Amino acid sequence: MQLSALFSDERRDNRMFSNRALAVLIAPLIVEQVLAITVGMVDTMMVSSAGEAATSGVSLVDMINNLMINVFAAVSTGGAVVASQYLGHKDEKKSCESALQLLLVTGLISVGIAALTIIFRREILELLYHGVEEDVMRNALVYFWLSALSYPFLAVYNSCAALFRSMENSKISMKVSILMNLMNACGNAFFIFVMKWGVAGAALASLISRMTACLILCFRLTDRSLPIHIGDEPFSWNGGMIRRILHIGIPGGIENSIFQLGRVLVVSIIATFGTVQIAANAVANNLDGMGILPGQAMNLAMITVIGQCVGAGDYEQVRYYAKKMLKITYVLLGSCCVLIIATMPLTMRLYALSQEALSLAAILVTIHDGSAILLWPISFTLSNVLRASNDVRYPMVVSITSMILFRVFLSYVIGVRLGMGAIGVWIAMVIDWIARSICFVLRYRSGVWRRTAGI
């Protein structure tokens, strides 16, 4: 069944996006999210051949990498919201200007973060994962500094991809993502199995593939036939435009940073449970990431669709597409989560880990994906309706508060004090989702977001 056939589109002549337009936007995003998750999965699977210490080291650094990636993604989202709103307002000149400023600010931020990460990588790892086994720490240090080198390329790539999505062109980033993943897989095979470089080989393969993807998208964005493009004007600082981008991006960046930092703190709790539980958590993170990837794709699509509706000043269509896209998210995400749970007996065989680690990973995946079917869309996708309407502070406050009170504090209480280990940590995560869901539903139904919407 095609995505466009999932739900009927009543009064389509009056709508900004037909079912076909939504399908053309969403389908490549889903493929791209599959491929994005695959990078981490391929690294973890191939590195697992080097032992559980290598696998654990990669998983610990990946939690920090995800924090950095989410900072870059938040700033990119700010730029995508601004560009989408200008397109909805039929102002292509301002859209192009916002694109130039977005690339400038993400490039500067990412270079600074990469430099600090490389310089203080040991201190960061020891602060977050104090007491971790020496073999795990040694692998983590190697993987961390090579990963940090890819931050600028990854940040600019994310910004370019966000701009293409604002133009309702998600195919280009999907194609480049396919190339990036093929390069990563081939690089892993060569550097890990032929050169025997272990975690260094995995990180180097990711660096080369991300660098290539970044350069390709930057070049494609110079096409002047696109509604959003760069190259007409030299790079110059526009403080007003950057402030507008950061007004939307910074709260999202703070939110995502605290959220990912919370996840890192949670993993630091799991790290005290031993190598088996660290490895099980790494495998579970890989598989549950596959379960929610349709939701991640819909989060990105929601920014484009709602942003253009807000730019056009049509709030009735904001409500229409928010409801419609949430329905699609529930259908796609629910189907994917069920599939992940059903195929675990097969997928677990791909990991060269102990039976104890794999059995625990299966329990964690079941907790996550079983709960995600009901809670994930309203816990994460609905909040992007608010962000695309410039209502960015409320989601930030809710996410940070819920993370601290429920995910981090309850992880310690249930996982450590009650002795439930990693299982208790994941139960705390579900409670966090419930709290977020309640807050976002109440905010959306109140209509307060309409006061902040507009350009």
Listed as own residue / partner, the contacts of 199-202 with beta carbons closer than 8 Å and 24 or more positions apart are 199/47, 199/50, 199/54, 199/57, 199/58, 199/139, 199/142, 199/143, 200/142, 200/143, 200/146, 202/43, 202/46, 202/47, 202/58, 202/143
* Rounded-to-integer distance, Cα 360 and Cα 416, Å: 17
pLDDT at position 5 over 70: no
Q: Which residues contact 389 (CB under 8 A, 6 or more apart)?
A: 306, 310, 318, 449, 450, 452, 453
What is the pLDDT of the chain when averaged over all its residues?
A: 86
Residue 4: pLDDT over 50: no
For the stretch 251-282, pLDDT in tens is 877 887 787 778 778 878 888 888 888 888 88
137-142 own/partner pairs: CB under 8 Å, 24+ apart? 137/57, 138/53, 138/57, 139/53, 139/54, 139/56, 139/57, 139/58, 139/198, 139/199, 140/57, 140/58, 140/60, 140/61, 142/57, 142/198, 142/199, 142/200, 142/203
pLDDT of 454 above 70: no
Average pLDDT estimate for 104-109: 92
**Span 349-407, pLDDT tens digits:** 888 778 888 899 999 999 999 999 999 999 999 999 998 888 988 999 999 999 999 98
The pLDDT, as a whole number, for residue 2 is 47
> What is the number of residues in the chain?
455
Taking the C-alpha atoms of residue 394 and residue 440, their distance in angstroms, rounded to an integer, is: 9
Tokens 């870059």 correspond to 72
